[in-house]
Amino acid sequence: MKRTISITLLAVAGGLVTGWFLTAWQLDQVAGQQPVSQVQTPSNETLGDGFSPEEKVNIQVYQRVNRSVVHITTMSARLDSFLLFETPTKGTGSGSVIDRQGHVLTNYHVIAGAREIRVRLYDGQEYAAGLVGQDPLNDIAVIKINAPVESLNPIRLGDSSTLRVGQKIHAIGNPFGLERTYTVGIISSLNRTLPAANHRTLKSIIQVDAALNQGNSGGPLLNSRAELVGMNTAIASRVGENSGVGFAIPVNTIKRVVPELIKNGKLSRADIGITRVYQTDEGLLIATLARGGPAEKAGLRGFRLVRTQQRRGPFVYEETRVDQSYADLIVGVDGKKTRSVDDFLTQVEMRRPGEKVTLRVIREGNPMEIEVILDGER
């Protein structure tokens, strides 16, 4: 008999939970303690011969990075089922200090809908944070605190394009409120996709087996040189806790998005001016175009309304029908085959406003290529 296995994809942000080895009250007590490793392992300590080479790498990674990791708590309000009363709700997550101006990197879902955001640094000092910019489609957000420069320890950014399956990785975060908890694992797979906002998908996601749990969202994924190579964002689980399948956003996506979030508060995506398409087995059939948009200016065609008149006795009736055969069928962008709406939008949004893309389309049975100069989002 065939068995169906249900796996839930969970964002690893949230509050403390009961029913897990410790009660919520006990976890609160532990979470309020300063990590012993933070006190006993300053970053300039020289390790002796009592550790194996692997242990030395682990210790050095933690020493170099743990002061860059922050604990984020949020306060929001949830309406009851009658939409009459608000119940305060508390969330928790992780983040990384990225510069000495106080900018902190985290997941968008950690701070989404929050009325109050607070950030606790390694020294126990807590600061109110303001939202600088957010990109829900990539699940990335930047917040900022006003903390003394000497308390800010920026994390170093690596290169996720060099990652390999089987490579050792390290994670630091605040699972269940236990600050700067360190776990180790390997990269289990690369180039995964995850569901994102607006029926889109996150691309090039890193899959890891390091233990991640509620509160790890937004925390750093590191290589053995103590460089940020990803941001932990979700786990696959049947029970809501770690099952050895975690996911992280690659740092190269972060490096592309964050500077613009700091500068403009949002990501400026290129727009092609196609407002509606139908996905078919052969490609994307254009239904409607934005009036005066890039696609219309380039001569692309959508559905056409055809009006006909028919006399019936003394009366003349006018009918309108949709002519789909007039529309262009998109089959590729810049030489790459288009298989879905998400593929198409990803190819477009990788460009900047003002750049050109070449669409390969089928028009009335004939293949052709059309250049489109992209505009910014309206």
How far apart are alpha carbons 263 and 24 in whole angstroms? 40
CA separation for the pair 356, 375 (Å, rounded) = 10
Same domain membership, residue 304 and residue 159: no
The pLDDT-based confidence of 39 (bands split at 50, 70, 90) is very low
Q: Specify if 331 maps to a domain.
A: yes
Instruction: Specify whether 223 is located in the same domain as 355.
Output: no
Nearest to 145 by CA among 153, 157, 156, 135: 153
Burial (CB < 10 A; 0-12, 13-18, 19+), residue 363, is middle
Could you tell me if residue 210 is inside a domain? yes
Are 85 and 206 found together in one domain?
A: yes
Residue 350, pLDDT score: 79
DSSP summary character for residue 342: H
Give the span between the Cα atoms of 71 and 177, in whole angstroms.
Answer: 8
Domain end residue (candidates: 246, 264, 282): 264
Do 131 and 200 sit in the same domain of this protein?
yes
Q: Measured over all CA atoms, what is the biggest interatomic distance in the chain, rounded to whole angstroms?
A: 104
Q: Is the same domain home to 48 and 140?
A: yes
| Pairwise CA distance, residues 265 & 135, whole Å | 9
| One domain, residues 163 and 303 | no
Chain centroid to Cα 100, Å, comes to: 24
Predicted confidence (pLDDT) per residue in 338-370, tens digit: 888 877 887 887 788 888 999 999 999 999 999
What confidence tier does 16 reach under pLDDT thresholds 50, 70, 90?
very low
Least confident segment among 45-54, 88-97, 205-214, 254-263:
45-54
Find the CATH number of the domain harbouring 89. 2.40.10.120
In the listed set 220, 246, 264, which residue is the last one of a domain according to the structure? Answer: 264
Count the alpha carbons within 13 Å of 18 in the hemisphere toward its beta carbon: 2
> Is residue 193 domain-shared with residue 306, that is, in the same domain?
no
Mean of pLDDT values over 301-313: 81
Name the 3-class secondary structure at 75: strand
pLDDT at residue 13 is higher than 90: no
- Which residues, at least 6 apart from 161, have a Cβ–Cβ distance to it below 8 Å? 252
The predicted structure's pLDDT at residue 45: 59
- Backbone torsions φ then ψ of 218, nearest 5 degrees: 90, -10
Q: What angle do CA 258, 264, 265 make, to 5 degrees?
A: 70
Catalytic positions, written as ranges: 109, 139, 217
Stronger pLDDT, 307 or 157, i.e. the higher one = 157
Domain endpoint, select from 230, 264, 298: 264
Q: What is the pTM of this model?
A: 0.74
Same domain for 90 and 235, yes or no, is: yes
pLDDT in tens, 217-276: 999 999 999 999 999 998 776 655 666 789 999 999 999 899 999 999 988 888 899 988
Q: Which two tokens stand for residue 303?
A: 């559905």
- Whether residue 227 is found in the same domain as residue 162: yes
Residue 1 lies in a domain: no
Q: Is residue 336 part of a domain?
A: yes
Q: What percent of the chain has pLDDT over 70?
A: 81
> For residue 3, is it within any domain?
no
Q: Which domain holds residue 355?
A: 270-376
Residue 252 and residue 170 in one domain: yes
53 and 37, same domain (yes or no): yes
Quick check: is 2 in a domain? no
Predicted confidence at residue 46, as pLDDT, reads 65
**Number of structural domains in the chain:** 2
What average pLDDT score do residues 308-316 get?
73
Tokens of 241: 């806790």
3-state helix, strand, coil in the chain (%, to 5): 20, 45, 35
Same domain, yes or no: 42 and 159: yes
